[in-house]
Structure 1
Amino acid sequence: MPNIKSAKKRVRVTRKKTLRNKHVKTMVKTAIKKFELALQNEDVETAREELKNATKTIDKAVSKGVIHKNNAARKKSRLTAKFNNIAS
């Protein structure tokens, strides 16, 4: 446990940011899982909606600084490729 006032504050701030980041990452993972579930069921319309939702969630995570933009681009690219394979 830190003794210096600024170190105590850093612990508080880090704890708060960690919880926020964890929440956003969980939302991204959930959106991706919903999309993949729709793909497994071969429901193209639901998959299209879930792809849109997952892309939106990933972009929000980037804007909040939780994930890197290249990581987001890779995730979106892979999801789109999966969708295109089943849609065609």
Structure 2
Amino acid sequence: MANSPQSEKRARQSEARFKINKMRRSRIRTFLRKVEEAIASGDNAAAREALRQAQPELMRGVTKGVVNKNNAARKMSRLSARVKATGAASAATV
């Protein structure tokens, strides 16, 4: 429990920051889920578009301190490789 005015303020700030960061993480996960769903459906054009929209969201999370830089880079690398593979697979079946 906060005892001094300063610690009460820090507690309020921490709670507000937690809510904002929670919204940011949720938004990032939503964009990543859309990429995953597009990959699963096999629609390469939709997957590329979803990836194009997810990248700035993920990088914004990095600048805001919600996601670690290396974690975001790894996610983008793996997702882009999977989207690329989806395109190669769809081109082979056509």
The interval holding the TM-score normalised by the smaller chain is: over 0.9
Identity across aligned pairs (percent)? 36
- Cα deviation for residue 8 of structure 1 reads 0.4
Q: Aligned AA for 1:27?
A: R
With normalisation by structure 1, the TM-score equals: 0.94
Unaligned ranges ≥5, structure 2: 89-94
CA apart distance, 1:82: 1.1
Question: What is the Cα deviation at residue 3 of structure 1?
Answer: 1.6
2:21 paired residue number? 21
Which protein is bigger by CA-based radius of gyration? 2
Report the CA distance between 1:41 and its aligned residue: 1.1
| RMSD (Å), alpha carbons | 0.9
Alignment of 1:1-88 (within 5 A): 1-88=1-88
Number of corresponding residues: 88
Structure 1: gaps (5+ residues): none
Letter in 1 for 2:2: P
CA-CA distance at 1:72 after TM superposition = 0.8
Aligned equivalents of 1:24, 1:81: Cα separation in 2: 25
Whole-angstrom CA distance in 1 between matches of 2:22 and 2:84: 30
Cα distance between partner residues in 1 of 2:67 and 2:33: 17
Instruction: State the 4+ residue runs in structure 1 displaced beyond 6 angstroms.
Output: none
1:85: how far off?
Answer: 1.5
The code of the aligned residue for 2:32 comes to I
CA–CA distance in 1 between the matches of 2:18 and 2:2? Answer: 18
Give the letter aligned to residue 23 of structure 1: M
1:63 Cα deviation (Å)? 1.4
For residues 40 and 69 of structure 1, the distance between their equivalents in structure 2, rounded to whole angstroms, comes to: 26
Amino acid at match of 1:54: A
